Structure 1
Amino acid sequence: MGKLRAKSEYESLRNARILENQARLASLGVQKTISDLRSIVSSAKPKKHVRKWQKKEYDITPLPPTPATNSLRRSNRLRGKVIDYGEPEEGSKSFSSQGKVKRPANASCQLSPQDSARRCRGKEGRCSVYNPVFGISCHFCRQKTLCAEEDCKRCGNLDANQPCIGKTDCSVCHSSNGVLCRACLKVRYGEELEEVRENKEWMCPHCIEEKGINPYWICNSSLCLKNRKMAPTGIAIYRARELGYKSVAHLLMDELQRRNPLCNK
C-alpha cells in the first residue's frame, strides 16, 4: 500500500509540473513562434511536379510495295523453275531425291584466270587462293589454300579424289600433323618440298621425336608449342637467319640443346 501511495503522489506532482510548464510557454508565446516557423519552412519547400502519364498513339502507315529488283533471293526450286544441267559426265553417278541423275556439286567449280595466276605465284611464297573444299589445311599456318604446283590435279583441276602434291605427307602417321605447305616446310624446318616428295620415308617432326631419332627436333607450330608450355615463336625466321640458322626449327634445336645438355646422352 505504501508503494502505491508513493507512486500516485509522484504522478500527481509530475502532472502539475507539466501543466505549469505549458502555461509558462503559452505566456511567453513560444507555441505561436514554433507554428509560424513551421509554416514558413513548409511554404519555402518547392513542390514536386508530377507528370501526368498520357498514352501516345502512333499512326501505322503501310510500307510502300517492294520493287521487283529488290525482291528476296529465292532458289529456282522454290520459284518452281526447272533447270536442265545437261548430261552428267561419264563415270559420275549422282541421283536426286526424285531418282534422276543430276550434275555433281563440284562440276561447276573452275578457277578464274586471276585466281589461277594467284595460285601459281604461291610457289615462291604462300598460296593465296582459299578453298574450303579442295584446299588442305597446313599444320603450321592452318590455311586451306590451293597449292601452286602445276601438276597438282587436286588444286589445278579441283578433283577431290586426287592428293595434293603441294603438301607433305608423313610416311608413318599420315595425319594432319605431317601436312605442311611449301613455304612453312622451308621457313620453319629448312626442307625443300621436292626433296620431301622424293623421300618416300619422310617423317614429320612429331614422329621423329616419338621414335627418338632426334629429341631436339620438335614441331614449332603454335599449337604444339602451347602443348609444351612454351611461348609461340611468331615470325622468328628473320632472327634465325641473322644468327646463321637454316630455319626456325634449327634455332629451337640449338636453344633446347644448350638449355638441357644432358638430354642427348
Structure 2
Amino acid sequence: MGRLGAKSDYESLRDARISENLARMEMLGLRHCAVELSEIASAAASSRAAAGSATQRKAPRQRVVSMTPLRRSSRLIAAAPTGSASTRRRSARLNGDSVQHKALPSSGSLSKLATAAAAMEDDEEEEKVVVVVDKKRVEALQERRCDSRGRGAVYDPVLGICCHFCRQKKLCGEEDCKRCGEGDLKQPCLGKTDCSSCHSSYGILCRACLKVRYGEEMEEVRKNKNWMCPHCIEEKGIKKFWICNSSICLKKRNIAPTGIAIYDAREQGYESVAHLLMDRLKRQAS
C-alpha cells in the first residue's frame, strides 16, 4: 500500500490538464478579456443605479378631451328634447313651482266607494262559494259507482267527504244518498257518520271503518241522533279507555299505529280494534 498523502495517477493527470488549459488561455488572452468584461458590466450597473436615483418621476400626462359633439343616430336626435342640454326632469317642488294637491273625496263619495267595494267583495265571495257540478260528470260517476256500501271505489275531491280513519274522499254506495248519487252538495253523505256533539272531521267515518275499527253499524248510527265520536266520548268520560284508533290520534298519544289489526282482534275474540285497545289500556292502568 502507498502512503496516504501520495497523489493517485488520476489526480496527477487532472492537475497536468489544468495547467495546460491555463497556459493555453494565457496564450490566447482569454483571461484578460474576462477581466475586462466583468469590469464593463460592473460599471454599467453602477451607472444605471446613479441615473435612476438622479432622475425624477415624470408628471402624469394630462388627458385632452375633445369638445366636438358626439356622433348620434338620427333616431336619438329626433327623440331628444328641444330644450337646452342642461335642463333635467325635476319635480315641481324642486323647480320652485307651487304644488296643487288633489282634493280628497267627500264623505258621500267615500260611502259610495265603500258600498261598491263591499258589493264587489260579496260578489267574489259568492263566486268562491258556488261550485258548479257537471251533470255529465255525475252520470259518469254513477256508471262507475261501487255497488258495495263499504268505503266506495270512486274517488271524488268535490263530492266525496274525507273519512277520519282511511282519509279517502270516496263516494258512498248508499242507494238513497243524494250527494253521491245526484251530485247535490247541500245534502249530507249517508255513507259517512256525523258526530252530534262536535260536528268536526273527527266524527266522520265511512261504513267500513266504523264497523272494523269500532264495531258499530251505519244503520244504528243513523237512527241514534245523539251518536258521538270516540273523541267526544273520551272528553265527556262516558266510556273509559274508549279512544280513537286512527294513526293520527294514536301518534298524538305516543302510541304506535295498529295497522291492519282487525284479524288479530277477531282471533282473540274482540269485536273490533277499539275493543282490543280498550282492553290493553285497562291492563296497563291496572
Q: TM-score, normalised by structure 1?
A: 0.57
- Name the residue aligned to 1:119: 145
Larger radius of gyration: 2
The structure with the greater share of residues assigned to helix is 2
* Residue type of the alignment partner of 1:224: C
Work out whether residues 119 and 128 of structure 1, in 8 Å CA contact, stay in contact via their aligned partners in 2: yes
Aligned partner of residue 145 in structure 1, secondary structure: coil
CA distance in 1, matches of 2:230, 2:144: 30
CA distance in 2, matches of 1:189, 1:259: 20
2:271 to 243, 246, 257: 246
Aligned partner of residue 282 in structure 2, secondary structure: helix
Shift of 1:126: 2.3
- Runs of 4+ aligned structure 1 residues displaced above 2 Å come to 115-122
Residues 1:205 and 2:233 are matched in the alignment: no
Residues 1:110 and 2:110 are matched in the alignment: no
* Residue type of the alignment partner of 2:171: L
- Name the residue aligned to 1:188: 213
Q: TM-score, normalised by structure 2?
A: 0.53
Task: Work out the number of aligned pairs and report it.
Answer: 162
Aligned partner of residue 140 in structure 1, secondary structure: coil
CA distance in 2, matches of 1:213, 1:243: 25
CA distance in 1, matches of 2:144, 2:273: 27
Aligned partner of residue 121 in structure 1, secondary structure: coil
Shift of 1:118: 4.8
CA distance in 1, matches of 2:266, 2:172: 26
1:134 to 147, 153, 159: 159
CA distance in 2, matches of 1:121, 1:227: 36
Aligned partner of residue 196 in structure 1, secondary structure: helix
Shift of 1:237: 0.4
Structure-to-structure mapping, 1:218-229, within 5 angstroms = 218-229=243-254
Residues 1:167 and 2:195 are matched in the alignment: no
* Residue type of the alignment partner of 1:218: I
Task: Give identity over the alignment, percent.
Answer: 66
Q: Which runs of 5+ in 1 are unaligned?
A: 1-23, 29-95, 98-102
1:1-57 alpha-carbon deviations (Å, 9 max, x no partner): xxxxxxxxxxxxxxxxxxxxxxx8xx69xxxxxxxxxxxxxxxxxxxxxxxxxxxxx
Q: CA RMSD in A?
A: 2.4
CA distance in 2, matches of 1:149, 1:110: 15
